[in-house]
Amino acid sequence: MVGVPGEAQPALAAAASAALEAYSVATAEHDRAALAEVVGDGADGTPTMRIDVLVENAILNALSRHSVNVLTEETGWVDNGSALTLVMDPVDGSANAAAGVPLSAFSAAVAVDGSFTEALTVWLETGRSWWAKAGTPSPLRTTGRTSLPGAAVSLLRPHPANPGAASAWWEVARRAGRVRILSTSCLEGALVAQGATDAFADAATDTHRLVDLAASVVLAEAGGGAVRDVFGRPIGLDTDLTRRWSGVVAASPELADELASVLHDAYETGRTTPTGPGTPT
Amino acid sequence: MVGVPGEAQPALAAAASAALEAYSVATAEHDRAALAEVVGDGADGTPTMRIDVLVENAILNALSRHSVNVLTEETGWVDNGSALTLVMDPVDGSANAAAGVPLSAFSAAVAVDGSFTEALTVWLETGRSWWAKAGTPSPLRTTGRTSLPGAAVSLLRPHPANPGAASAWWEVARRAGRVRILSTSCLEGALVAQGATDAFADAATDTHRLVDLAASVVLAEAGGGAVRDVFGRPIGLDTDLTRRWSGVVAASPELADELASVLHDAYETGRTTPTGPGTPT
């Protein structure tokens, strides 16, 4: 659908609306260099671009009227003593958004007493949205694919200097029928949930933060899919934003398990074997 | 801009409008399986999906009132004895369009007596368009980047079973700062022309047909960029759609030359060296 769904939890809806408005103003008022300028370090330990700050500040301002806790990329953990926490990436795909590649998203999940119960991802350039609430019927439906050979898989970009991760990336490219790199984890997760692609994965680089995965957990599960970590770590509410995962979002639990296993095995092989995709030539 | 520009050559504008309308109807009336169904072989020698046929037929119908020659993916060369030829990909990124990944484009160039003089690429899911005419001032402006290390490069997906091409793909991934695979050559070319990415390349797989490159030649050159073939073949009007190129669209002539050279050298090394990214493990 286009826009913020009316059934969404009020704080989640307010955050998404503020993000859409702030993104629109930021991209109209600033050029690419200004949007991409690094203006600090986020609570997640990564450099913060101006576009991230502009959108996150607008969201936090909108949320001041809502009594919820917030876990967000730049500010980190804001404890308001609520049972409800928004786990939020104000601008997923910041590098796309700053450069003018029209693939970035607001994405957030609602956690109630530690469990993810609802999620909303909104494509900032078009307003198109993906929403799901645990226990509520959803129109989302994955492709249902259960095995990797021939699958359509989105991946984070490869890291050739990391032999294990390079080997893992290449092994999936070898087995998949189609590989994409859209550089926007939350949109790529939403595309799995709606059945446009079969899977999305971080090929063992431990790049994913909770804010990159939380919404995809709810959306993918609503559509019949599953989310795993390549190294078997559980993905749950954690207020330490420096934690990392290598997330796998897939159309079925079987495919999620197979992808995680293929990535894990190829990572271990690549770390210890001197030939392969990561080898300098 | 959004929509078909009013200054566009009338046959080009009519084709783009017909494509937008037909895409909208096709995706509303057919599910993913029906859109992706292979219904024949195109003049380019590749399988034709239903979505390709529906959009191309609508365009050819609209063009029946225009006296131009047409070179298009499925039908091939339609000679109407005109000095003017539309070189056209009705649905660039067919696999995206059929699957529901919202990245596909109508893309066409006008050739007058064999030279490309004008081009229009329209993002079918949003109506956003990129237009340029040789000799007319253009708002398009590439990033101007002149060297590969650290560049933002889009690539066609890797072909791990082709050792030369695998080596070429990986060498660019190693040198670039960011790699994307959007699976839509014409949109990726337009993003180079507008300065959102630094370059786009087919890593020596000879996948590109003229219809994948013609519009990007005009758009990139209007923005200060350049288009090359990895193997040095000139890219010009040719009515044989089975011809292939490994196209490089870049923000500057210097970057285009460097990318073509790096891809060519790595391709030759990969073909003759038993280790590297293409090596089965």
**Contact yes or no for A99 and B152 at CB 8 A:** yes
- Whether B280 has a pLDDT exceeding 50, the answer reads no
> Which residue, chain included where needed, has tokens 């308001």?
A80
Q: Which chain B residue shows the shortest CA-CA distance from A125? A: B126
Tell me the shortest Cα–Cα distance from B273 to chain A, in angstroms. Answer: 10
* B195 CB within 8 Å of a chain A CB: yes
Region B173-197: what's the mean pLDDT?
98
**Contact yes or no for B173 and A157 at CB 8 A:** yes
Region A70-84: what's the mean pLDDT?
92
pLDDT band at A275; cut points 50, 70, 90: low
- Whether A248 has a pLDDT exceeding 60, the answer reads yes
- Report which secondary-structure segment, H or E, holds B84: strand B84-92
**Contact yes or no for B275 and A273 at CB 8 A:** no
Contact at 8 Å (CB) between B153 and B178? Answer: yes
Residue range A160-193, pLDDT digits in tens: 999 999 999 999 999 999 999 999 999 999 999 9
- Whether A217 has a pLDDT exceeding 60, the answer reads yes
pLDDT attached to residue A43: 85
Q: Which chain A residue shows the shortest CA-CA distance from B178? A: A157
pLDDT band at A113; cut points 50, 70, 90: confident
pLDDT attached to residue A232: 97
Percent of chain B with pLDDT over 90: 88
Tell me the shortest Cα–Cα distance from A113 to chain B, in angstroms. Answer: 35
> Which residue, chain included where needed, has tokens 């288009």?
B227
| Nearest C-alpha neighbor of A25 from the set A61, A71, A1 | A61
pLDDT band at A2; cut points 50, 70, 90: confident
| Nearest C-alpha neighbor of A44 from the set A100, A81, A79, A92 | A92
Complex ipTM > 0.90: yes
* A194 CB within 8 Å of a chain B CB: yes
**Contact yes or no for B281 and A279 at CB 8 A:** no
| Nearest C-alpha neighbor of A76 from the set A272, A186, A225, A240 | A240
Residue range A218-241, pLDDT digits in tens: 999 999 999 999 999 999 999 888
pLDDT band at B73; cut points 50, 70, 90: confident
pLDDT band at A73; cut points 50, 70, 90: confident
| Nearest C-alpha neighbor of B61 from the set B50, B72, B48 | B72
pLDDT attached to residue B277: 47
Which among B32, B126, B179 is the top mutation candidate for probing chain A, defined by the most A β-carbons within 10 Å of its own β-carbon?
Answer: B179
All domains of chain B in start order, with CATH: 10-133 (3.30.540.10), 152-272 (3.40.190.80)
Tell me what the pLDDT averaged over chain A comes to.
Answer: 94
C-alpha distances in Å from residue B34, one per residue of A190, A196, B51, B57: 22, 14, 8, 17
pLDDT attached to residue B276: 53
Tell me what the pLDDT averaged over chain B comes to.
Answer: 94
pLDDT attached to residue B275: 52
User: In this structure, is the dihedral angle defined by the CA atoms of residues B244, B250, B252 and B255, taken in order, positive or negative?
Assistant: negative
Tell me the shortest Cα–Cα distance from A76 to chain B, in angstroms. Answer: 26
pLDDT attached to residue A243: 94
pLDDT attached to residue B113: 86
Contact at 8 Å (CB) between A70 and A88? Answer: yes
Region A127-146: what's the mean pLDDT?
96
Task: Please report residues of B whose CB lies closer than 8 A to that of A194.
Answer: 100
**Contact yes or no for B100 and A167 at CB 8 A:** no
Percent of chain A with pLDDT over 70: 97
Task: Please report residues of B whose CB lies closer than 8 A to that of A152.
Answer: 99
* Residue among A125, A152, A281 whose CB faces B99 most closely: A152
Task: Please report residues of B whose CB lies closer than 8 A to that of A275.
Answer: 275-276, 279, 281
Query: Are β-strands B105-112 and B129-133 bridged in parallel, bridged antiparallel, or unpaired?
Result: unpaired
pLDDT attached to residue B74: 87
- Whether A278 has a pLDDT exceeding 70, the answer reads no
Residue range B215-242, pLDDT digits in tens: 999 999 999 999 999 999 999 999 888 8
Task: Please report residues of A whose CB lies closer than 8 A to that of B151.
Answer: none
- Whether B279 has a pLDDT exceeding 60, the answer reads no
Helices (H), chain B: 10-29, 32-36, 50-63, 94-99, 163-175, 185-193, 210-222, 253-272
